Amino acid sequence: MSVEKPFTPGESERLPDVFAAPRVPGTLPDRPGETNLLPISALAANLRVEFDQWTGAPTNPNDFPAVVQPYWDEVPLTPKRFQYPFDAQALFFLVPEYLLAVEGAHKLKYRITADPPIYDDLSKITEVLIDWSPPSRNATPSAVLVPAEVIADGISEDYLAQNGDQLLLKIPHYSGTRTEDRVMLFWRHSPPRPGDEVALITHTVTAEEAEEAQNDPTSTLSLALAGQSIRDRGEGTIVVDYQLADRAGNSSTLSAAISIDVDFGPRPVLAPPTVPAFADGLITRAESLRGVEVLIGQYGAAQRDRFVVRWGTQASFEEPVGNSVFPLYHSVPWEVLTVLGTSTPQTVPVSYSIRRGARSWTSGEVLVAIDLTVAGPANPDPSNLNPRLQQVLVKGNGGDNVVRPEPVPDPPTLPVELVLYDNPRPGERLDLFWGTLSAPVASVTLDASHSPGSTVTFQVRWADVIRAGNSAVMPVRYTTFNGVNGQQSPDTLVDVKVVVVEDLPLPQFPDRDRLLYINCSAQPWNGIRIVIPPDARFEGGDELILHWDGYSGTALSGQLILQENFPMTLTASAATEGIQFTIEDFERHILPLGFKSPGLPSSQQDGSGEAWYTLYKKDGSEGTSKRREAYCSIGLVPAGAPCPCRREDYLEDSAWCLPTP
């Protein structure tokens, strides 16, 4: 378009110009439906648009200046003014980056106006295309389509040999398929390895493929992977995905992924497993409580192999082989061993499977016999102790579950009763155990006369009761045995005191005089010393209680007026050095025995004290020293003196107390 201006004298006559269309460097080659497509790399900054020097440009000093006004669609851009002289390198204008965010076709043009405006002409128009839409329209592309046998069995040398040494994959249809779209297929290891970030193959969509995709939404793109390309990437679990990109450079997200196992090794030869507990031909309950081990021998393993052990119909969790040393060990737990119950013996097939990626192989079976039956109620838990068994009742001479040294039973046996369990069978044996004795102290073999709920009586020899010793919590239990398996009842705790320590050494008074007196010369205000001679039966940790009994008269005559107990724990030296003890607290423990009241004659003031002790040994036995044999008379009031002796009444430690003047 041109606008004619009236002729002015002195101006040169000029015909209107038709200016050339602007140029956009870097556009992509045209394709049907895509003219002057801009790559997205060109849209990351202001877009440079160039134009040619026009006729009448101010190239001489007398030429009029001119203004170039560019347009983006109908949006005027920043104008540029040209006057002589000007740089030909300035023949361009910029489209601001923010205008490039709008997708679609856009028109570029410019107007040149002289100054003064003797002409005002528009250029031809250039159209450019902006594409911000990635292939698949921002939807995550579907996973690559892989042959079903590859999903199931992976890729092996056998597979490649049978399929022309290649793997054929298909890319599902995606929205907006266009010529020269690119499909970049990634072949990644799990876990990743260096080089996985490089596409294994890139496929460029042809015009025929694009046309088919536009007309048929079920169409796919075919990709052929050469066998050597797969071998070069190595074995393992492979995660396959792809990314789409168009001519403009828009990229889709990564597609959904799919895993393929690649294994070029030979098929392993799997021998049947070994079950060590079955070496004697039968697995018993005792061998099963902590699980039954299944061993897998060497088979040419790969580090990524995983194995599963099958016990009957039950399969274990997968376990990794890794760098394990062969044989591989797997323990079949009690919960699996008992899934079919424990009431009858069973024969169970045992095998294992090896999985290497998508491929797996199963070994041959070994048949094992297992017997978990018991006499009495079955324990569902993997324990030899069965809380469902009744406890025994010890009919002791001191009462139920109480046994004392007297009277000794006649005959010298102790009855122990048991209420029998349900479904007793002839031939089942019950063994009774007492304390820590290792062998049973009594046994009963059931016969046809024994019925559920009837009472079975064990007879325990009195000698075994004595041999087991004393305990306030003596455990008594029994086991049942059906010829194969045994189980144990809960303990009955019995109070047993049948062993007595006799003839213990008597306490001695080293400060007692020949008349068996403790008087002022013994300095009783410092205490009365008592010595218990050594005895081999004294042991470190034994408990001993020293008893101190006071009487109002001498030689333990008169009334019992004082009783004190002094507990102590013995050390190991008591067996060889004896026990040293001092009755202290003169005012409380000694003075009342040698001084009744002021004014009484000294002969009526004297009393006496007895020392005896009880020994409680660690093994539960106990004993008491003889009574009324270890004593001392106590005289604290000197003849003619009105009060008991005290230290301050003495002229010196060894002198008799002088009467008060």
Q: Is 580 helix (H, G, I), strand (E, B) or coil?
A: strand
Which CATH code is given to the segment(s) 136-262?
Answer: 2.60.40.10
pLDDT of residue 659: 42
- Computed from CA positions of residues 278, 283, 287, 289, in that sequence, does the dihedral angle turn out positive or negative? positive
- What's the whole-model pTM score? 0.57
The yes or no reply on domain 517-649 and CATH 2.60.40 is yes
pLDDT of residue 434: 98
- Distance separating alpha carbons of residues 287 and 48, to the nearest angstrom: 86
pLDDT of residue 650: 43
Which amino acid, one-letter code, is at 353?
Answer: S
Residue 623: name the closest of 508, 536, 544, 535 by CA: 544
Residue 41: name the closest of 27, 51, 22 by CA: 27
pLDDT of residue 117: 75
Residue 343 Ramachandran class (φ > 0 left, ψ -120 to 50 alpha, else beta): alpha
Q: Is 271 helix (H, G, I), strand (E, B) or coil?
A: coil
* CB contact set of 143 (below 8 Å; sequence gap of 6+): 172, 240, 241, 255, 256, 257, 258
Check whether the bond before 490 is cis (ω within 30° of 0). no
Q: DSSP readout, 185-242?
A: EEEEESS--TTTTS-SEEEEPPHHHHHHHHH-TT--EEEEEEHHHHHHH-SEEEEEEE
DSSP character at residue 515 = T
Q: Is 647 helix (H, G, I), strand (E, B) or coil?
A: helix
- Distance separating alpha carbons of residues 150 and 358, to the nearest angstrom: 8
Residue 2: name the closest of 50, 56, 80, 75 by CA: 56
pLDDT of residue 7: 37
- Distance separating alpha carbons of residues 493 and 626, to the nearest angstrom: 32
> Cα 231 vs. chain centroid, distance in angstroms?
39
Polymer length of the chain: 661
Q: What token pair was written down for 525?
A: 């205000």
> What are 105's strand-pairing partners?
129
Q: Residues 425, 410: contact at Cβ < 8 Å?
A: no
The yes or no reply on domain 37-132 and CATH 2.40.50 is no
pLDDT of residue 646: 64
Kindly give the parts of the chain with pLDDT less than 70.
Answer: 1-18, 646-661
- Distance separating alpha carbons of residues 38 and 28, to the nearest angstrom: 6
Half-sphere exposure of 252 (CA within 13 A, CB side): 26
CB atoms within 10 A of CB 650: 17
Q: What token pair was written down for 318?
A: 């997968």
Interval 593-615: pLDDT, tens: 999 887 788 889 999 999 999 99
Q: Which residue has the tokens 């490649």?
A: 160
pLDDT of residue 11: 43
Q: What token pair was written down for 333?
A: 């737990």
* CB contact set of 314 (below 8 Å; sequence gap of 6+): 336, 339
Q: What is the β-pairing status of strands 236-245 and 37-38?
A: unpaired
Residue 505: name the closest of 524, 477, 533 by CA: 533
Check whether the bond before 382 is cis (ω within 30° of 0). no
CB atoms within 10 A of CB 635: 27
- Distance separating alpha carbons of residues 393 and 390, to the nearest angstrom: 10
Which CATH code is given to the segment(s) 393-496?
Answer: 2.60.40
Backbone angles phi, psi at 314, to 5 degrees: -100, 130
- Residue 354 CB-density burial (10 A; 0-12 exposed, 13-18 middle, 19+ buried): buried
- Distance separating alpha carbons of residues 100 and 40, to the nearest angstrom: 10
